[in-house]
Amino acid sequence: MQLRIPLSVAVITKDEAENLPAFLRSVSFADQIVVVDSGSSDATVEIAAAGGCEVFVEPWQGFGPQKQIAVNRCRNDWVLILDADERIPPETAEMIKKIVSRLPEAAGYSFPRKNYFQGRWIRHAGWWPDRVVRLFRKDRGYLSSALVHESVQVTGTVVSLGLPIEHFTESRLGEVLKKIDRYSTLGAGEALAAGRRSTVWGAACRAPLVFFHNYFLRGGFLDGRQGLTLAVTDAINKFFKYAKLAELNEGRGTPDARDHNS
């Protein structure tokens, strides 16, 4: 049995039974794993409990607030916040162990994120290095309040590390379409709250521009068929976000999408 370090891992879940076993194996070096579930209908909670996690069930509040609930449950000075479809490779785990076990030089650390889609590491169109802050002192970091596309905010120095986190993003197109529906609804609600406006014509104009930008200008075509699929789905997501915003502007939509968990 490996020696566990004084590190808290925080993760939010809903119906993550498929991802959770590999996730837990990759963070088994931490002495606390906090799982905040928002009503899974599969075996997520049972798998987490059997894996020695501290499991809490909370109503869905949006990504930022929900992750902050998980951070608040952590008892160690250092917190590593992840998604259930992310993994910590062994070499990255060793680096994290060294950081936590010595007098750290920073309040937080960022990692490049290797995103995999349909079995391929996606290296273009902004998918690499996709740097994210995930390791931080609990007393120096917190989650932004964004309902979607949340981020870790750190007071103090953040050091950029070279070793990656791996992200095995959803590759089944049926599930990708469901995710587009959820994220575009959340994005439209946030845009409305910020006072932004749109029309369906404006949404229709944005979509091809997003595709051209990602696929041609940012090199998505270099990622093969997977790059093509991602450029198309990103354009679709952009269309629906702004088409839904147009609905909200006209009073035909529902701005509160807090029950849309991933």
Closest by CA to 161, choosing from 101, 110, 90, 98, is 110
Classified as helix, coil or strand, 118 is coil
What mean pLDDT value characterizes the chain?
95
Q: What domains appear along the chain, each with residue ranges and CATH number?
A: 5-168 (3.90.550.10), 173-249 (no CATH)
Residue type, 201: W
Residue type, 211: F
What confidence score (pLDDT) does residue 241 get? 97
Q: State the average pLDDT over residues 228-253.
A: 95
Q: State the average pLDDT over residues 250-256.
A: 75
The model carries a pTM of 0.93
DSSP secondary structure letter of residue 65: H
What confidence score (pLDDT) does residue 260 get? 46
Chain segment 173-220, per-residue pLDDT in tens: 999 999 999 999 999 999 999 999 999 999 999 999 999 999 999 999
How much of the chain exceeds pLDDT 90, in percent? Answer: 91
Per-residue confidence at 227, pLDDT binned at 50, 70, 90?
Answer: very high
Cα-only R_g, the chain: 19
